[in-house]
Amino acid sequence: MKTPGMFEFFLVATPGLEAPLCEEAVENGFENAHRVAGGVSCRGDWAEVWRANLSLRGANKVLVRIGSFPAVHLAQLDKRARKFPWAEFLRPDIPVKVEATSRKSRIYHAGAARQRIERAITETLGAPVSSDADLRIMLRIEKDVCTLSLDTSGEPLHKRGHKPAIAKAPMRETMAAMFLRSCGFDGSEPVLDPMCGSGTFVIEAAEIALGLQPGRFRRFAFEYLAGFDAAAFEALRQGGPTTETSLIFRGSDRNAGAVEAASANAAQAGVSDVTQFAHRSVSDIKPIGDQPGLVIANPPYGARIGDEKRLRALYGSLGKILMSRFQGWRVGIVTSNPSLARATRLPDLSAGPVVDHGGTKVKLYQTGPLP
């Protein structure tokens, strides 16, 4: 900590989506936001940590670095952990979970290091340690330097708190938001997802257009920290900017259950007035209104032998329909298979970086305005 009350904090990105997350952090005015391995580093006080959790659409977690010290053996780690000012951050009545990693250090046994931190917390502060605690402390030992961080988010931030219904192979909200950003979407144009599943792209687009804070419905781990100011945080939660839009964001799917799920999720998120979901096949999609916008989809990728031939026909059909009906619209397609993307025959299709989608490596393929 360089000045009292100021921290370095780290925004955990989905692998491959560090760049749009950094753009979002810079756009939202987070101090010293810059890309580092695995995410984005920023600087700020607790209010900025709260704001990052509440308002950033692309961060998976917000981790706060609370201190560091050198240690070359377990006895030294134990002594310094007992002198650490735990009471500045933790409450004695709130259970904590400790995780440890060690790399290129003389303290190589991460489990033994974790136990030293656990004992220091319980014996100096009195806080209980539990493997299923909501509050997580991370010890990273690298080149004999011990760094302590707090996970201020708790549950991953893609869990917005308004999605009871989930369709097959869901796109995480944080990923969907960053793919929309990568396509240049800023809330000022219509969006259509012709394979909408549980409606993630459409709902995220509607929230962006309305200026809604993604974390407005959920709780965070920082609410259990020492000195948390509930009234100040509630003012921040209620004080987020909102805007109006005349646009309607649309999704469709051939699966009636998915359409029902998407509609329920949109209602839970409070965006039913600006979203519409329909039960229809890809062959029936068409633009509504005169303003061109963005078509974005996460079609099936295929995992079994024989799938690719069937899916090539689906991608090819989607490409033909878009070319014939959606002049002036841009297209974004998320897929793990380059040959399926090419099967659309969409012009000037460019591929983004590899992104980890639940263990599957995908890319966003996008076009400029269709001729």
The CA distance from 236 to 369, in Å, is: 38
E strands present in the chain:
7-12, 31-36, 39-44, 61-70, 96-103, 135-142, 145-151, 191-193, 249-253, 275-279, 294-297, 330-335, 350-351, 355-357, 360-366
> Using one digit for the tens of pLDDT, what is the confidence trace for 285-321?
999 989 999 999 999 987 654 588 889 999 999 999 9
The pLDDT score that the predictor gives to residue 3 is 42
> 119: which 2 tokens?
């004992």
The pLDDT score that the predictor gives to residue 247 is 96
Predicted confidence (pLDDT) at residue 148 exceeds the cutoff of 60: yes
> 202: which 2 tokens?
């459409």
> Using one digit for the tens of pLDDT, what is the confidence trace for 316-369?
999 999 999 999 999 999 999 999 999 999 999 999 999 999 889 999 999 999
The pLDDT score that the predictor gives to residue 165 is 60
The CA distance from 324 to 370, in Å, is: 9
> Using one digit for the tens of pLDDT, what is the confidence trace for 200-215?
999 999 999 999 999 9
- Is residue 241 very low, low, confident or very high in pLDDT (cuts 50, 70, 90)? confident
Q: Strand, helix or coil at 193?
A: strand
- Is residue 242 very low, low, confident or very high in pLDDT (cuts 50, 70, 90)? confident
CA-nearest of 231, 233, 187 to 211 is 187
Mean pLDDT of 63-71: 96
Predicted confidence (pLDDT) at residue 168 exceeds the cutoff of 80: no
The residue that leads in pLDDT, 134 or 307, is 134
Mean pLDDT of 143-170: 86
Domains and CATH numbers, the chain: 7-151 (3.30.2130.30), 173-214+243-366 (3.40.50.150)
Predicted confidence (pLDDT) at residue 57 exceeds the cutoff of 90: yes
Percent of the residues in the chain that have a pLDDT greater than 70, as a whole number: 96
Place of tokens 């939202």: 28
Mean pLDDT of 46-61: 97
Say if residues 152 and 62 touch (Cβ distance below 8 Å). yes
The pLDDT score that the predictor gives to residue 306 is 53
The pLDDT score that the predictor gives to residue 1 is 31
The CA distance from 187 to 258, in Å, is: 24
CB atoms within 10 A of CB 364: 25
Predicted confidence (pLDDT) at residue 167 exceeds the cutoff of 90: no
CA-nearest of 221, 175, 212, 181 to 62 is 221
